Amino acid sequence: MSKPDSACALVTGGSRGIGAAIAVGLAEDGWPVVVNYRSDGDAAARTVAAIEAKGGRAVAVAADVSDRVQAERLLDESVEAIGPVLCLVNNAGVRADNLAVSLSDDEWDAVLTTNLTGSFRLTRLALRTMIRARFGRVIGIASIVGPRANAGQANYAAAKAGLIGMSKTVAVEVASRGVTVNTVAPGFIETDMTRDVLERAASAVPARRAGRVEEVAACVRFLASDAAGYVTGTTVFVDGGLAA
């Protein structure tokens, strides 16, 4: 089944970093795109402008995906502004690192509610439209952390492993409806989130460098395409060989 003409894409946390590259890439592939952000409206406006400069269509919508009411409003506003969301990229994510013995409830909750619960709620909401359309793409941005250990990130690992597990199960529930559900697991990618650890981390990567945001976006663009209609319930690692 091919993508309906009216289909649009929603990229959570699309204002900066990996999410911005995904938003720009999907727009290049012809998707009208909703660029979601939490607080940095200027960054979101820059991403929208970059898309429009290349002839694409995009709108920025502020919403905190960890909040149930705001997540529902985000979906409603996206449909109103640009069309039915038939590609959902659950990219918004945060870190709050600490060794498990010192990890507070607040640090646990902040990471789980944004990275996992927010992704599930948006997926649940978007699936209704996708199932009706007999076409859908749900793509979660997970991490090599989760499938692999990383000291100081028990909360982040739990959220990302949860995202992978949730996506696999949803994938088999909706596979017969033309909806695919996959995750992309980046290694160390150069963004605001990793500036503090990048130099140290990159030396451990077999490719001997950090990844670029466009390299993650390329994988998402493939999973969103008609060509990937038979790829579902899987995780693609974009990590320079780190998880091999």
Q: How far is the CB of 191 from ligand NDP (least distance, A)?
A: 3
User: Six-digit token pair at 116?
Assistant: 């996992």
Tell me the three state secondary structure of residue 119. helix
Q: How far is the CB of 230 from ligand NDP (least distance, A)?
A: 25
Which residues are designated catalytic? 156
When asked if residue 141 is in the footprint of ligand NDP (CB under 6 A), the reply is: yes
**Binders in 163-222 for ligand NDP, by CB under 6 A:** 186, 188-189, 191-194
When asked if residue 240 is in the footprint of ligand NDP (CB under 6 A), the reply is: no
Nearer to ligand NDP, 196 or 226 (CB): 196
Q: How far is the CB of 21 from ligand NDP (least distance, A)?
A: 8
**Span from 34-42, 97-105, 167-175, 221-229 in contact with ligand NDP (CB under 6 A):** 34-42
Figure out which of the listed residues 29, 64, 109, 173 binds ligand NDP, where binding follows CB under 6 A.
Answer: 64
Q: How far is the CB of 222 from ligand NDP (least distance, A)?
A: 17
When asked if residue 139 is in the footprint of ligand NDP (CB under 6 A), the reply is: no
When asked if residue 26 is in the footprint of ligand NDP (CB under 6 A), the reply is: no
Cα–Cα distance, 217 to 207 (Å, whole number): 18
Figure out which of the listed residues 25, 26, 34, 38 binds ligand NDP, where binding follows CB under 6 A.
Answer: 38
Question: Which DSSP helix (H) or strand (E) runs through 90?
Answer: strand 85-90
Q: How far is the CB of 207 from ligand NDP (least distance, A)?
A: 14
Measured distance between the N- and C-terminal CA atoms of the chain, rounded to whole angstroms: 33
If you search the block for the tokens 């978007």, which residue do you land on?
A: 126
Contacts 24+ apart (CB under 8 A), 157-162: 158/111, 158/112, 158/116, 159/93, 159/111, 159/112, 159/114, 159/115, 159/116, 160/115, 160/116, 160/185, 162/112, 162/116
When asked if residue 114 is in the footprint of ligand NDP (CB under 6 A), the reply is: yes
How buried is 161 (Cβ within 10 angstroms: 0-12 exposed, 13-18 middle, 19+ buried)? middle
Contact 124, 136 (CB under 8 A): no
Q: How many residues bind ligand NDP (CB under 6 A)?
A: 31
When asked if residue 17 is in the footprint of ligand NDP (CB under 6 A), the reply is: yes
Question: Which DSSP helix (H) or strand (E) runs through 26?
Answer: helix 17-28
Nearer to ligand NDP, 133 or 189 (CB): 189
**Binders in 39-58 for ligand NDP, by CB under 6 A:** 39-40, 43
Among 236, 192, 234, residue whose Cα is nearest residue 215: 236
**Interacting residue ranges for ligand NDP, rule: CB under 6 A:** 12-13, 15-19, 36-40, 43, 64-66, 91-94, 114-115, 141, 143, 186, 188-189, 191-194
